[in-house]
Amino acid sequence: MNKIELLRKQVMDRTFEMKSFKEIWPVWREGIFQNIDLNQITGADVIAIGDRLKEIFVLTSPDGRGQGTVAKAGYSWEAFVCWYLNLCTIGSNTVVIKSIKANIPETIRDTITVKYGSVSSNSESDILAVTFPEDDGRGFYKCDKAPSKDMLVRQLNDVITENLSKTSLTVIQCKTNWNDNAQIPMLWDLIYSSTGFNTNASVGHNGHTPRGLKMFSYAFVTVPTTDPEELKPASVAVLRVGKLSGGNYWGLPTKSNVASNVFDIVQKNFPETFAENWNSDIGTSIKNLIATDDYFQISK
């Protein structure tokens, strides 16, 4: 396993340490794979899961809408999206990282830091999808022995720092509700795409900014808990996120001019993921994963 895959495993291990996610996972796992033969899983099966994320998510949705319940559901949705996008990108240079500082290379954190005067802040970056540079022949990602978790992130950070212009980043904001949150990603996307401010504000830290990356984008992914039939191309909530640099997605099949299937975020924002034979290779990768170290907990 190379260093990129070790980081993916580290992200998944941390995801399953979340009490709320661990408790509901058996129900979701059953919902995800109930009609999929794991011995014959294909790329088409993986893509189709993206059409059903809402259907699976609501299998464990509580009836209450108290603040604590809403927050718990939000964390679970972030974790679910992180799990699914990492499944789609197994074996590639893209790792989708839930926003936990210990797993995020420092240079990536620097690029999305926004300063207002002496105060630093980051966007509501629920998930970060990092596409690491291609190995130039020096063996960036080879390892004979797995380093410690902290050392792994530091070593990958060194690769990014040296090759920032060959690194891509997508900030992914995940929300269970659409109407209440649509303007937030719109405003952050505007901030990151700005080339300058007339106020005492700036984007980036330690000499690293989004403009130094190979590609930078901002995306929105929602369940949504809102009735999908109420969301039309002319709806205010849809218009607010309709032109996000990274796109707008939901846990349902694509609806033209409203939102795309979550899987489409992969093709739009990290196309390097797709080798020539992705549709067959992803099935082989998942079967090998199950047979060796099932850190996606697909079969258990």
What phi, psi does 50 have (nearest 5°)? -60, -30
pLDDT for the residue numbered 142: 94
- CA 16 → CA 3, 26, 138, 223, 266, distances in Å? 20, 11, 33, 20, 23
What does the pLDDT average to over 36-60?
A: 94
Give yes or no for residue 274 having a pLDDT over 70: yes
C-alpha dist (Å) from residue 52 to 30, 81, 230: 13, 12, 19
| Rounded Cα–Cα distance for residues 192 and 182 (Å) | 16
Average pLDDT over residues 290-300: 91
Write down the number of H helices and E strands in the chain: 11, 9
For residues 108-136, give the mean pLDDT.
82
Q: What would the pLDDT profile of 210-259 be if each residue is shown by its tens digit?
A: 999 999 999 999 999 888 999 999 999 999 999 999 999 999 999 999 99
Band (pLDDT 50/70/90 cuts) for residue 86 is very high
Average of per-residue pLDDT across 124-128: 76
d(CA 50, CA 84): 8
Contact 203, 210 (CB under 8 A): yes
- CA quadruple 99, 101, 104, 108: dihedral, nearest 10: 90
* pTM (2 d.p.): 0.92
Q: Please tell me the predicted confidence (pLDDT) of residue 68.
A: 47
The two beta strands, 113-116 and 127-131, are: unpaired
> 32-46, 66-80, 259-273: which has the minimum mean pLDDT?
66-80
Domain ranges of the chain: 3-292
- Reply yes or no on whether the pLDDT at 65 is more than 80: no
